[in-house]
Amino acid sequence: MNTSNDLGLKVDLAGQVALVTGASQGLGQAMALALAANGARVICVARNADKLGQTVAAIQAAGGSAEAVACDVKDGTKVDQLVEAVAERCGRLDILVNNAGITRDTLLPRMSDQEWDDVIETNLRGAFLFARAASRIMMRARHGRIINISSVSGLIGNAGQTNYSASKAGLIGLTRSLSRELAKRNVTVNAVAPGFIESDMTRTLGAALLDEAKKHIPARRLGTPAEVAAAVLFLASPAAAYVTGCVLTVDGGMTG
């Protein structure tokens, strides 16, 4: 798998603790690898413990520090317990990346209550729960980085994804409001909005649909997980101390 190191981006996260949700595959795995490669101790969170083990093994094989914690991001009690346990065990929590997300795509007239609720609760409620728990620790420490993974679907919408787009737009509102609450405590809150990125999800669309999608991307290609991870790495770094309330698009000019 590519990491942001492949792009030549280096930051100093030595001694810091990062928590990444949805770290078992795809973008979350790339972000976890990138943070670890730059010195952070990474707590990898997802529901699938076996897949998390693969991420942790890859980090450790590269000389990094990581551990896996299985958790349902929708369960407020478990989220609070997890974050408190991490802070107690590690002595700190510096970086939170809210990446966990699912899709339940269908046109709105056919969308069930469950398909709506599943996406909103995982993508938006999950981020709220982790941000709330982490912000308490970061406020006391007067230092922290919260990075929410949104999507261009949250900026411009997408047919068949009213639930997903609403959840990702909600993350942008959460990001901008929370950034105003935490800035005076030296805690930044930003969002990254990827466009079409090479992944298992996009590969299922098929070559014809992907070729059509590329016509609407000025860069004429899909992005890579490493390029999204690089954006996260910058926002997590000391260089981004004065960047907060920002939505950083990584979309090849699609929304430009």
Q: What is the pLDDT of residues 63-120, one digit of tens each?
A: 999 999 999 999 999 999 999 999 999 999 999 999 999 999 999 999 999 999 999 9
Give yes or no: 164 in active site: yes
Q: pLDDT-derived band of residue 146, with 50, 70 and 90 as boundaries?
A: very high
Is 1 domain-assigned? no
**CATH number for the domain harbouring residue 187:** 3.40.50.720
Q: What is the pLDDT of residues 130-139, one digit of tens each?
A: 999 999 999 9
Query: Using CA atoms, how far apart are residues 68 and 54, in angstroms rounded to an integer?
Result: 9
Is 108 domain-assigned? yes
DSSP string, 156-218: H--TT-HHHHHHHHHHHHHHHHHHHHHGGGTEEEEEEEE-SB-SHHHHTT-HHHHHHHHTTST
Please answer whether residues 150 and 164 qualify as being in contact, where contact means their C-beta atoms are separated by less than 8 angstroms: no
Rounded to two decimals, the pTM is 0.95
Catalytic residue among 55, 101, 131, 164: 164
Query: Using CA atoms, how far apart are residues 251 and 253, in angstroms rounded to an integer?
Result: 5
Is 5 domain-assigned? no
Is 81 domain-assigned? yes
Is 64 domain-assigned? yes
Number of domains the chain is built from: 1
Query: Using CA atoms, how far apart are residues 27 and 35, in angstroms rounded to an integer?
Result: 12
Is 162 domain-assigned? yes
Is 49 domain-assigned? yes
Residue 153 structural domain: 10-250
Is 177 domain-assigned? yes
